[in-house]
Structure 1
């Protein structure tokens, strides 16, 4: 996300966060520490299967007076006050913030974006299986998907939900951007999460 009044040319790469001209104006949110570390690793020439190269890049960002906020809400306040001009954040969250009056636009980096998925399911031993399946079907209805997209900024899960052109422009990815989407390496994260959090808290944030 970026403030178009302060960052007049839309960022093209994750590496733009390290541009010295944005010293003190880059903000990260604490709860997205894994995504922040993945981004730094990619900028360092690594990838989403190994965050180690990103540690050095994060320390470089620290030397550029990056700000770290404890919550999405705190980051939103910093963007609204223009304390922060650039940040890493989910596209949908930026959409909601923009609707609320926060001066932000989104840019998809040339390296490709990281995807996020939310799931719903009916447990095998559900007491009301039919009701659960009915809820899932209702949630996947094209009209419901369109309303959810308009309210929350998430692109529809189903292919038969038609969005107004302006809404689609704000929350959709082009076919080329979709082709570059990364799925987090959850196996790597599970094996290394404790060490990664330790680095984030004890070295980067201290």
Structure 2
């Protein structure tokens, strides 16, 4: 009898479970998608690549954002499913370099497409123009004793080891040997002496910068982070160091266990619409893949992320670094 006076179950909304980074699924963006597709979107945020990996392996999601380097282990572990770009109308609107999926390392395997580019940024060095007299020329400045307790670094196992490899001039900073990883851990333990703390999100970095005497910030979120700091009134500069900067390309991927892969594909297509893409850039300072971005032609020395050689060892070593083990312990 109760069902007779209730809405038909056929009208129940589909649920889309999105795992994303801050800025990728704002409330108004989600509401617009929900209205258009008569769906309910549940958004969970990741705060590091390690956290993303943990969440995908411990809970169910339909669509998630991941960089091209990290994507490889999701493919290896059969955690993502192939996409059909022809079913994404807005893929044809992307800039030419993002439409040629086969030319982007990591997106296509054995002829199948596993992700669609969404946004990108380089990880430059942010400095406090009020207290740092000259723009730093190298990421090595973060180790300078003059900045003891005044550096903000990012809490992740992968980028930090690659950063040390890049600083040391390693041929491939992403494919460090196990022995080199241990040496890099020693350098990161030395860096810990200078670090006030290791932040997780761009918002957290802003709060720390505005409430402490911070000189340098490793800009894991690049232009997004720079904009957030300036919007908060911080007088900061931004440099691409002489050794180059690590850079990421984040993509949308459909999880292997997606309950509704069609709705997941519709989400991807929706985020590639010009309005949604522009919102990503104007609101969060992130480059999008649909409209040309200021400075695109002048960006140099970008080192695009690649899969690391031994992520499990890196994570174990990183946990030891942030737990406070001294350099001589490695």
State yes or no: 1:32 paired with 2:156: yes
Q: Which runs of 4+ in 1 moved over 6 A?
A: none
Paired residue for 2:186?
A: 56
Q: Quick check: which one's strand share is greater?
A: 2
Q: Gaps (5+ residues) in structure 2?
A: 1-125
TM-score by length of 1: 0.74
Q: Gaps (5+ residues) in structure 1?
A: none
Q: Quick check: which one's helix share is greater?
A: 1
Structure 1 residues 14 and 109, CA, compared in 2 at 3 Å: closer, same or farther? same
Pairwise mapping of residues 161-180 of structure 1 onto structure 2 (< 5 A)? 161-163=291-293, 168-169=294-295, 172=296, 174-177=298-301, 180=302
Alpha-carbon distance, 1:86 to partner? 0.3
Paired residue for 2:146?
A: 21
Deviation readout 1:142-167 (Å, 9 max, x if unpaired): 33212211112211123xx145xxxx
CA distance in 2, matches of 1:174, 1:19: 29
- SS, match of residue 120 in structure 1: strand
CA distance in 1, matches of 2:228, 2:213: 19
State yes or no: 1:189 paired with 2:314: no
CA distance in 2, matches of 1:59, 1:192: 13
Contact persistence 1:98–1:105 (CA under 8 A): no
TM-score by length of 2: 0.50
Flag the structure with more relative contact order, 1 or 2, with Cα contacts below 8 A and sequence separation at least 6: 2
2:134 counterpart (2, 5, 9): 9
CA distance in 2, matches of 1:200, 1:189: 16
Q: If you compute each CA radius of gyration, which structure gives the higher value, 1 or 2? A: 2
Count how many residue pairs are aligned between Structure 1 and Structure 2.
Answer: 193
Alpha-carbon distance, 1:183 to partner? 0.8
Structure 1 residues 143 and 60, CA, compared in 2 at 3 Å: closer, same or farther? same
Structure 1 residues 122 and 28, CA, compared in 2 at 3 Å: closer, same or farther? closer
Deviation readout 1:118-156 (Å, 9 max, x if unpaired): 332345765361x44333222112332122111122111
2:218 counterpart (88, 91, 100): 88
- SS, match of residue 144 in structure 1: helix
Deviation readout 1:59-89 (Å, 9 max, x if unpaired): 43345x4322454445323311351110212
1:152 counterpart (259, 280, 284): 284
